[in-house]
A and B are shown apart, each in its own frame.
Chain A
Amino acid sequence: MKNSINNAFKIAKKENRPALISYTVCGDNTKDKSLQILNSISKDLDIAEWGIPHNCPTADGKDIQNSSYRALQNGIRLNDIFKLVKKFKKTKPSKPIILMGYYQMIFNYGERKFIQKCKASGVDGLIVVDLSFPDNKNFAKLCKKNSICFVQLIAPTTTVKRMREIIKSSHEMIYMISTISTTGSALKYSIKKIIKNYNVIKRIKPSKNVVIGFGITEKTISNLKSADGLVVGSAICREITRSLKGRQNPVTNVSKLVRKLKNKII
């Protein structure tokens, strides 16, 4: 279990492709539906990210805001999320799952209690959007102690000096934000520039698994397939919104989308 994130990258590398990482919001649009979606797409995924919905998400664009809103409207709570993770892991024990959220949700629950619950339910990693370096040092240590991968983020605005420090304190996976934006907006930079930024990180520590996220869609994904991993979030959330609006089943539609994404990177 401990190295399931590393394993996921190893498998992808063996197949000469980037790891495919999804982001959906836990509880979108209902608890059961979100688990069904994740179960269904997991065959095409290497790692699953599940968002913890928060009603003040200052780094998210419209699509993820909508997903979070739906999940909260349907009454999702943190304890439900842990239960759902446990259920997911029961059927797919080797599929790594990363919870992603805002620090307020963890702070309110209690850091230690939160991590204990993560460990008990089988969470493999954590991304805390607004707990950046160096403020996350203690929390990251606490994660490590409990065999949970704390995923550090690097943005286009991060200086090389800072990048070195962040990489030094990072665990198995680093998340590179592709462009100066909230989640889900169009890529502002050329693919060339994004790859260039990616290579700067890789050169500092080639052994780290670096994934690229923010603004990755069906259209852009194949251009970035030289990365260790690619995260698709808003595009999936958008598909859920579209399906619900059209009274279609989000499970089938999202599964089709993820299959397409996978086909573009193999």
Chain B
Amino acid sequence: MIKLKKKTSLIDQHDKFGFYGNKFGGNYCAETMRKPIEDLSKLFEKLRKDRKFLKKRDHYFKHYLGGETPFFKLENLTRHLGGAQIWCKDVSAINGDAHKAYHATVNALICKESGKRYIAGDTGAGMFGKNLAMAAKKMNLKCKIFMGTKDISRQAPNVKFMRDAGAEVVPVDSGSKTLVDAVSECMRHYVSNCDNTHLAVGSAIGCNIFLKICAWSTSQISRELKKQLVKEFGKIPKLKLINVIGGGSSALGFWNEFVDYDKKHVELIGVEAKYAAPLSTNAKVAILHGAAQYCLTDKEGQIAETHSLSAGLDYPGSSPLHGLLKDSGRARYTNASDKEALAAFKLITKLEDIRPSLEPAHAWSECIRLAPKLKKSDVIVVNNCGKGYKDKKIYIEQLGYYPK
């Protein structure tokens, strides 16, 4: 079992080669990328200690992304399920509609600091693409978004946002035409243009520096939540923090400030899509997109195809940081099917005013399974990390309606 280092933030638990727990992460990349990622690492380490930069980040988070996202109790759902208290950290209320807004904004700020004029990113559900396009526009950067053609058609509203913001959306038609291929193509673009382009990897995946930047950015969520919990409960109560996992960027942000707590005090629960679930189905460790991670492969080691209604979860790999959290026993992982996620959406939207996208609907599904088994004194918080409008068409196809 891997032991987590106390008082060392999760992203900094790696060795000098970028490995977490001697097993996850690393920098499996072409020689051409070595110097650019080394430069980026140096820049990031400098910026994260730079007061002026932090002030700028906070300014953007507050005035551009709209500041603290709400935290509230779902009274009706709590009553309906009759067990634990259910609370919602509604990250989808951010300007940008998902946690990817933090990550995209920080990447655009770093790109600006690096002096590069071009920024490129991958996207599956389109939330990162959309936010990166908007941040690039705001900061006067030329933006390219790589997206699988299957995702371009199923997440059309977000594609429109990207194009309206002036980004070039590059359709990726290889392989399964989803996120995994978009990330590969975006990395190829970076290998060919690393002299003038900043690579913004869309989740906490990729070579060491990319996942660090991502998880550092989204950790804004848990900084806020910690304060909100203390305000509401006077202390950090006994908690279960439930979050959906695709690559795992929102969960890392949602959990970051709580990793040092005992798991009996703050339990971390990740929910994958049933047929894209490397962490909850005992997948092997594999090298994908520059890092060792739990990843679905076939016997020969080829990367496996995944299936999920949710474009954001349709990815065979997982963040190396989730590998670390799993193997250290700090977090536990489960999964939910398309059907279960849809049923969760149905129930939640009937009882409450939130409209989760398909991704957090998976987290809600686990919440619905779990809450009735718990006591009233138990507190569940779900990260409602994305707004449902982008999946309106899919919800209508599957359920016959989309709630007002």
Residues of A within 8 A of B (CB): 54-61, 65, 69, 72, 77-78, 102-105, 107-109, 129-135, 153-159, 162, 177, 180-182, 185
**B287 on the interface (CB 8 Å rule)?**
yes
CA distance A110 to B193 in the complex (A): 33
Instruction: Please give me the residue from chain B that is nearest to A55 by CB atom.
Output: B302
Instruction: Please give me the residue from chain A that is nearest to B192 by CB atom.
Output: A181
Residues of chain B within 8 A (CB-CB) of A134 are 17
A180 with B193: in contact, given A56-B289, A132-B29, A156-B32 (CB under 8 Å)?
yes
B300 adjacent to A181 (CB under 8 Å): no
**B76 on the interface (CB 8 Å rule)?**
no
CA distance A54 to B195 in the complex (A): 27
A59 with B34: in contact, given A104-B287, A130-B290 (CB under 8 Å)?
no
Minimum distance in angstroms from A194 CB to a CB of chain B: 14
In the complex, number of A-B residue pairs with CB atoms less than 8 Å apart:
113
Residues of chain A within 8 A (CB-CB) of B184 are 56-58
A177 adjacent to B31 (CB under 8 Å): yes
A162 adjacent to B34 (CB under 8 Å): yes
B30 adjacent to A155 (CB under 8 Å): yes
Nearest 9 A/B pairs, CB to CB: A108-B301, A155-B32, A157-B35, A104-B287, A155-B31, A153-B31, A59-B30, A181-B192, A130-B28
Most chain-A CB neighbours within 10 Å: which of B174, B193, B303?
A: B174
Residues of B within 8 A of A (CB): 17, 26-36, 174-175, 180, 184, 187-188, 191-195, 284, 286-290, 292, 297, 300-303
Residues of chain A within 8 A (CB-CB) of B194 are 157, 180
Residues of chain A within 8 A (CB-CB) of B30 are 58-59, 129-130, 132, 153, 155, 177
Indicate which residue in A54, A182, A185 contacts B302 across the interface (CB closer than 8 Å). Answer: A54
B34 adjacent to A58 (CB under 8 Å): no
Residues of chain A within 8 A (CB-CB) of B191 are 58-59, 180-182
Residues of chain B within 8 A (CB-CB) of A158 are 31, 34-35
Indicate which residue in B180, B188, B288 contacts A104 across the interface (CB closer than 8 Å). Answer: B288
A107 with B286: in contact, given A55-B302, A157-B195 (CB under 8 Å)?
yes
Residues of chain A within 8 A (CB-CB) of B29 are 58, 130, 132
B32 adjacent to A177 (CB under 8 Å): yes
Minimum distance in angstroms from B218 CB to a CB of chain A: 24
Residues of chain B within 8 A (CB-CB) of A60 are 188
Minimum distance in angstroms from A213 CB to a CB of chain B: 12
A185 adjacent to B28 (CB under 8 Å): no
Indicate which residue in B174, B192, B195, B288 contacts A182 across the interface (CB closer than 8 Å). Answer: B192
Residues of chain B within 8 A (CB-CB) of A109 are 301
Other contacts beyond A55-B175, A104-B288, A130-B287: 18, CB < 8 A = A54-B301, A58-B29, A58-B187, A58-B188, A58-B289, A103-B287, A108-B284, A108-B297, A130-B29, A130-B30, A132-B29, A135-B27, A153-B30, A155-B31, A155-B32, A155-B35, A157-B33, A162-B34
- Jot down 29 A-B pairs with beta carbons below 8 A, ordered by A: A54-B301, A58-B188, A58-B191, A78-B300, A78-B301, A103-B28, A104-B286, A104-B301, A104-B303, A105-B301, A107-B292, A108-B284, A132-B27, A132-B29, A132-B30, A135-B26, A153-B31, A154-B31, A155-B30, A155-B32, A157-B32, A157-B36, A159-B35, A162-B34, A177-B31, A180-B192, A180-B194, A180-B195, A182-B188
